[in-house]
Structure 1
């Protein structure tokens, strides 16, 4: 081998070694600080905290006015108790009821309620898809998020620098028949929740109508920090999500319960999806939508679906699978897609932002 060829080979080996050092491995999973910015801890007990501690996660548990969840007061009690149990690891977001909306005093009462929860440690406020899809005014029209009645609450959040977590709309699959949906987890969810399957409800507004109302609200409140839950309901197209982020500098999005929709795209154009994550590395929050709900005869399908072994097995499985996809170049079978999916292999610096520092910045936690 010539000296030139030898030098070239040594350079390639060194480059490969340095490239490897820029990526985390599966073995790094538990040792890297991480933050799941979208879970629902609705049950008393330490199991969720125990597995979060073992796997290196802090949690943001989000209270939400969801019929399959316990009443809002019960969700708040659980959040307060778990916060007291491990205040450095467990965080929570509060919400408000739409009961009485439009009536005299609703906004003032809602602000008082939110301030009381902020005093207990709430870091953010959640608004759910019932706004835009379920709740109606006195005239029978659906209430959209840009309704002026919300303005006093949004102004108050902006003044207090409290982020709004907005889940408006549903996955694009929601407007498709079951046999045309792109992921099995969406298919199973909407099979179990036909009331939210918009393909079955053509009288309901389109996804575009719902998201346009959200975007008008964001534009009207430029000082309000907004976290678009579930990739801002633009999970099916990273190009559209990029346009949303470019148009709204006060917005970030979380990845909760939408990674399979991302993986569907990366199977078809891996480089494009990876480039999106790198370009918007400061605007993405890791989240799962993992739910620890008290069992009851009324309990229905969750997204992601339950696994045997309760929240401990479920959380460990999903966290490790997501880590393999985002942080490494390893492949794994994703049952929701019936496909082998190659990991994005995002650089360590990008992973540290998506999994840690972005959430801590967004929710005003210590550096």
Structure 2
């Protein structure tokens, strides 16, 4: 018969073993049954097939309107958003944007706020500002406009008052300022080859990466009460250490992962424990997103993520499943964008549930109803 001391030692050992055991994760088989939210897509055509594949794969969607010359005009983007939302308002949400036309002229703030209020009345849950602010847009005097320009203050105060989040795409991946042969991912390399106007290595006269990040940071500091979503990992995709410092400095911020998974995979291939620890530590600050773009067929279009096969629904399913395999499971997969295999992070279920669902629902104030 075991002594009381032995029993206590065995019980303590069992508790220690249990405490050391990793939290259970999901498998590939769990993919379709788990509620998920893609917080960064672009539905630029009224195509119910996008909703069909989202429904089948367990996704809700946030489609983001963008003042991007390779996209349809802003009024058409808004019309498509209204049409798609009318099909399935529980699954499809949209973010409006603001036009820089007339920026710096009398009445721009009032006109912009009225336009935003109209979009909110139609169901918009957020506002997007794009990289043209800082990289392209100029005011009425021809001067380059940066996000920390005080002439944005009236609009940002209006968003704060309305409790509406801002999604900000500022700058580009740091690869944009590097020679092609020094870029870390093939998708960045191909994008900037096709978009020389945005390839800053070719334009040393333009603002540096560091200058654009500093303007963004000054903006966030200037508006501490504004709910701020740094699109594309806040253009800090090259370093989870840098992104951690951003989070620590600005507690009212989140980021999405849209179109930056390969940049993460470069880092996790170098140190998977560090990348996994980053996700666990900042699990409340990260939103899943893809940048999937469903645009009208146009051989001349140069949007970042056009369908390569003409079957958008199939490609969306493939992207979603590949990302799930990387984030939620320990399984490896070939990633052409980094010319290597990438092992999955195998994040705990509780972390996956936040990144894929709870964080976006909370940040965009969508309530807790599950995807169905």
Which interval holds the TM-score relative to the shorter structure?
Answer: over 0.9
In the alignment, is the contact (CA less than 8 A) between 1:192 and 1:301 conserved in 2?
A: no
Deviations 1:243-270 (A, max 9, x none): 0011111110000000100000000000
In the alignment, is the contact (CA less than 8 A) between 2:196 and 2:202 conserved in 1?
A: yes
CA distance, structure 2, for counterparts of residue 319 and residue 192 of structure 1: 25
Structure 2 equivalent of residue 362 of structure 1: 363
Structure 1 equivalent of residue 268 of structure 2: 266
Structure 2 equivalent of residue 341 of structure 1: 342
Structure 2 equivalent of residue 102 of structure 1: 104
In the alignment, is the contact (CA less than 8 A) between 2:67 and 2:74 conserved in 1?
A: yes
Structure 1 equivalent of residue 133 of structure 2: 131
In the alignment, is the contact (CA less than 8 A) between 2:136 and 2:144 conserved in 1?
A: yes
CA distance, structure 2, for counterparts of residue 315 and residue 122 of structure 1: 23
CA distance, structure 1, for counterparts of residue 107 and residue 314 of structure 2: 45
CA distance, structure 1, for counterparts of residue 284 and residue 73 of structure 2: 35
Structure 2 equivalent of residue 28 of structure 1: 30
1:159 aligned counterpart, secondary structure? helix
Deviations 1:181-237 (A, max 9, x none): 100000111111111000000000011111111111111111100000000000000
CA distance, structure 1, for counterparts of residue 25 and residue 296 of structure 2: 38
Correspondences of 1:29-44 after superposition (within 5 Å)? 29-44=31-46
1:322 aligned counterpart, secondary structure? helix
CA distance, structure 2, for counterparts of residue 298 and residue 66 of structure 1: 15
Structure 1 residues not aligned, in runs of 5+: none
TM-score by length of structure 1 reads 0.94
In the alignment, is the contact (CA less than 8 A) between 1:227 and 1:254 conserved in 2?
A: yes
1:154 aligned counterpart, secondary structure? helix
Q: Compute the displacement of 1:138 (Å).
A: 3.7
Structure 2 residues not aligned, in runs of 5+: 1-5
TM-score by length of structure 2 reads 0.93
CA distance, structure 2, for counterparts of residue 283 and residue 210 of structure 1: 22
Residue number among 113, 129, 150 corresponding to 2:152 in the alignment: 150
Residue number among 194, 213, 216 corresponding to 1:214 in the alignment: 216
CA distance, structure 1, for counterparts of residue 142 and residue 213 of structure 2: 20
Structure 1 equivalent of residue 3 of structure 2: none
In the alignment, is the contact (CA less than 8 A) between 2:102 and 2:140 conserved in 1?
A: no
CA distance, structure 2, for counterparts of residue 59 and residue 328 of structure 1: 23
2:337 aligned counterpart, secondary structure? coil
CA distance, structure 2, for counterparts of residue 264 and residue 301 of structure 1: 24
Structure 2 equivalent of residue 200 of structure 1: 202
CA distance, structure 2, for counterparts of residue 65 and residue 286 of structure 1: 22
Q: Compute the displacement of 1:136 (Å).
A: 1.4
CA distance, structure 1, for counterparts of residue 285 and residue 184 of structure 2: 25
In the alignment, is the contact (CA less than 8 A) between 1:236 and 1:262 conserved in 2?
A: yes
Report the RMSD for the aligned CA atoms in angstroms: 1.9
Deviations 1:99-125 (A, max 9, x none): 100001111000000000000000000
2:322 aligned counterpart, secondary structure? helix
CA distance, structure 1, for counterparts of residue 143 and residue 310 of structure 2: 44
In the alignment, is the contact (CA less than 8 A) between 1:68 and 1:298 conserved in 2?
A: no
In the alignment, is the contact (CA less than 8 A) between 1:22 and 1:348 conserved in 2?
A: yes
Structure 2 equivalent of residue 325 of structure 1: 326
Q: Compute the displacement of 1:302 (Å).
A: 2.2
1:295 aligned counterpart, secondary structure? coil
How many residues align? The count is 358
